[in-house]
Structure 1
Amino acid sequence: MTYDRRRFLQFMTAGFGLSIAAGCGQSPTPISTEPSPGANGETPASSLASLGIGGSPILLTIPLAYLLENSKVPEAIADVEFFPTRNHEQMKALLTSGQGQISANPTILTAGLYRQQVPVQLLSVMIWGNLSLLAPEGAIASWEDLRGKTVLIPFKGGLPEMMFRFLATQAGLQPDQDLTIQSTQDFQSNAQLLLAGQGDAGVFSEPHASNVVTKAQEQNMAIAYSLDFKQSWGEATNQPPRYPQAGIAILSSVAENHPDVVDLVQTELQNSLTWIQENPTAAAELGAKYMDTPAAIIEQSFQANLFEYVAAAEAKPELEVYYQSLMQVNPKLMGGQLPDAGFYVGG
């Protein structure tokens, strides 16, 4: 197993909280079509010789770190490597080349790559919402309170802005007329402006939101969670109060030709969420190794993040509502079409 932490920390400064993640390891080399029988309770050898696992400094990296350090995956696959990417094009290149086999991505990004004929499928959804609107305590209690306000949102046209625009519109606001959206470069600049009082509110994902609240406390300021996008999503769509924000992408060649790997990864990813729930402090410490975020902040962020493992085929109805909702904001998203059944592993 290989983990290039120095390279990861160099790349992470250019990454973003809801950004892509992709693997970059050795090209997979099949050993056999059937796993070898294990002895003495050992995990059977996999039909895949190597596995590239990709991650960026987001909470979904923790389940991936669990695969690397706490799971049976390294017992079954001889060469397991973890590598970061810094932008969408780099991740796309890694997946297209076959160097990375699984990665943690926003589900909207994985769907977009699939629509672009990149040979990738969605294995599962694991993060069901961790976007929030932060504001000075007591300033914002409802969407209506945003009228006339300036809202800081990172990544112009990206997921944080699309979700904000959709939810604000469903709440009866016209975002371009009733308030001012100020685009920022990333969550760090978003935080700096909010803490400097240069915006009335800001949109953040976890663990960035928890970090902002903590930094505000250190400066004797009171920044609070004002609007939870999960709750707002449920009210706007008549769906459960959760949305399929991010999940695990897998190369189609692996999904189709290595069912033993798919089964093992699915099992261990489910195990990772049980472990995180039962061991939040240890999980935060593991995440800190890969995310360069203090463990205390990561552990705090679990409270506003919804982890749940749902296989892609099972999540399809909620994913399609999610995709259609975001396409109301950006009709050109995914080429204006939903992914077909082949996008969903097991579908």
Structure 2
Amino acid sequence: MKTKALLFLLILSVLTSGLVFAAGGAEPRVTTTGSEQETAEAVQLRLGGLKGPTSVALAPYIVQPDRLGDGVRISTATYASPDLAISQILAGEVDIVALPTNLASVLYNRDADIQLLGVSGGGVLYLVADREMELLELTGQTVHTIARGATPDIMLQALTAGQGLHAGEDYTIQYAADQTELAQNLIAGRVGIAVLPEPFVTRVTSANPDLQIAVDLQEIYREQYALPYYPMTSIIVRGEFARQNPAAVRSWLADMPAAQQWLSENLPEAASAAGDLIGIPGQIIQAAFPRLNLTWIPAAEARTEIQTYLQIFADFNPASVGGKLPEADFYFQSELE
């Protein structure tokens, strides 16, 4: 217990330094849905994720907790803050969790017993302004974003540096406390240019028709790094659960492509049912869905993209990935691959 408590405090120190980005609610609490009944035959699979777009990929299991058949009972919980999610992982209270990829690396490098199953989110960051822009047009401008050292900050600086612009020299960054505050300032006209994640982009552009997506940062990333996506969100599994329940993990992995297809084909139902649990109104999920860039890429297929992405964070601040890039055993190897 002492080791787990120390591990939690070490990881929490990274989070409170603003090094991990997650879209979440204002109060740390857990919301759960799914089967509460345990049977002698069924494996209890507890899914989890942060409140916000990180957990939209889990919506099929919120709507259909029996997707894996009678042998697996699924419940789904969402957490309003990364530190709350970490405490649940370390306490063994959740089995498979959607998290920012760099947070998964932090956990691994702090000797948490986890492995990365795959990538579920390909990036949700956009530059918002009153017109379409090129990044070079940020010269001499002030760009607003959230939390120094968080994902939007790191990605903005990395992508502008790739085009010869450097924060503090060629343009200025100002930081808001969180996405909600920044969105409100944009809507009210107190801020003119900002980097925001979806679904806050949709909320802002819906409330203020003078604003629009100026730059799709995912597109810039693809051009700059010659890779098809960046793995902003990944899904991890507790090692103990995977060792004790290999069939359940294999079943879940086999179902993920079909689950994501179901989500695309049944978006109104999924968005309505999942909206309360993940803290996003259903209509906002539907409007933002094309820009949430949900995907499913098994760990073995995503390793190059993950290493490139984590190296960007490590170059900015090694603590943002836990001090170093993960070793090969970070990546789950499935018999399905």
Q: What is the percentage of aligned positions where both structures have the same residue?
A: 26
The within-5 A match list for 1:128-147 is: 128-136=122-130, 138=131, 140-147=132-139
Quick one: distance in 1 between partners of 2:101 and 2:33? Answer: 20
- Please tell me whether the aligned partners of residues 34 and 75 of structure 2 are also in contact (alpha carbons under 8 angstroms): yes
TM-score by length of structure 2 reads 0.83
- Please tell me whether the aligned partners of residues 78 and 278 of structure 2 are also in contact (alpha carbons under 8 angstroms): no
Quick one: distance in 2 between partners of 1:135 and 1:176? Answer: 20
- Please tell me whether the aligned partners of residues 68 and 74 of structure 1 are also in contact (alpha carbons under 8 angstroms): no
- Please tell me whether the aligned partners of residues 63 and 274 of structure 2 are also in contact (alpha carbons under 8 angstroms): no
Task: Please state how far the C-alpha of 1:209 moved relative to its aligned partner.
Answer: 1.0
Aligned to 1:333: 320
Aligned to 1:7: none
Q: Aligned with 2:52: secondary structure? A: coil
Aligned to 1:197: 189
Aligned to 1:75: 70
Q: Structure 1 residue 225 and structure 2 residue 238: aligned?
A: no
- Residue type of the partner of 1:54? G
Q: Deviations over 1:12-60 (max 9, x none)?
A: 3247xxxxx998999xx996xxxxxxxxxxxxx54x3x22221333234
Task: Please state how far the C-alpha of 1:279 moved relative to its aligned partner.
Answer: 2.3
Task: Please state how far the C-alpha of 1:89 moved relative to its aligned partner.
Answer: 2.6
Quick one: distance in 2 between partners of 1:259 and 1:82? Answer: 19
Q: Please, which runs of 5 or more residues in structure 1 have no aligned partner?
A: 1-10, 16-20, 32-44
Report which stretch shifted further, 252-261 or 330-339. Answer: 330-339
Seen in structure 2, the aligned counterparts of structure 1 residues 262 and 146 have a Cα distance that, compared at 3 Å, is same
Seen in structure 2, the aligned counterparts of structure 1 residues 92 and 60 have a Cα distance that, compared at 3 Å, is closer
- Please tell me whether the aligned partners of residues 22 and 103 of structure 1 are also in contact (alpha carbons under 8 angstroms): no
The within-5 A match list for 1:288-327 is: 288-327=275-314
Aligned to 2:226: 238
- Please tell me whether the aligned partners of residues 32 and 277 of structure 2 are also in contact (alpha carbons under 8 angstroms): no
Quick one: distance in 2 between partners of 1:25 and 1:96? Answer: 22
Instruction: Kindly tell me the number of residue pairs found equivalent between the two proteins.
Output: 308
Q: Select the residue among 1, 12, 26 that pairs with 2:25.
A: 12
Q: Deviations over 1:284-323 (max 9, x none)?
A: 2233232343322211111212122111121111100111
Seen in structure 2, the aligned counterparts of structure 1 residues 326 and 180 have a Cα distance that, compared at 3 Å, is same
Task: Please state how far the C-alpha of 1:170 moved relative to its aligned partner.
Answer: 0.8
Aligned to 1:165: 157
Q: Structure 1 residue 214 and structure 2 residue 209: aligned?
A: no
Moved over 4 A (4+): 21-26
- Please tell me whether the aligned partners of residues 51 and 79 of structure 2 are also in contact (alpha carbons under 8 angstroms): no
- Residue type of the partner of 1:178? D
Task: Please state how far the C-alpha of 1:339 moved relative to its aligned partner.
Answer: 0.3
Q: Select the residue among 86, 94, 97 that pairs with 1:92.
A: 86
Aligned to 2:271: 284
Seen in structure 2, the aligned counterparts of structure 1 residues 312 and 92 have a Cα distance that, compared at 3 Å, is same
Quick one: distance in 1 between partners of 2:34 and 2:92? Answer: 9
Q: Aligned with 1:65: secondary structure? A: helix
Q: Deviations over 1:304-345 (max 9, x none)?
A: 121221111211111001111222222333243110111111
Q: Aligned with 1:64: secondary structure? A: helix
- Residue type of the partner of 1:231? E
Q: Aligned with 2:89: secondary structure? A: helix
Q: Aligned with 1:121: secondary structure? A: strand
Q: Select the residue among 145, 148, 159 that pairs with 1:156.
A: 148
Q: Structure 1 residue 65 and structure 2 residue 59: aligned?
A: yes
Task: Please state how far the C-alpha of 1:278 moved relative to its aligned partner.
Answer: 1.7
Report which stretch shifted further, 100-109 or 58-67. Answer: 58-67
- Residue type of the partner of 2:257? Q
- Please tell me whether the aligned partners of residues 12 and 57 of structure 1 are also in contact (alpha carbons under 8 angstroms): yes
- Please tell me whether the aligned partners of residues 109 and 323 of structure 2 are also in contact (alpha carbons under 8 angstroms): no
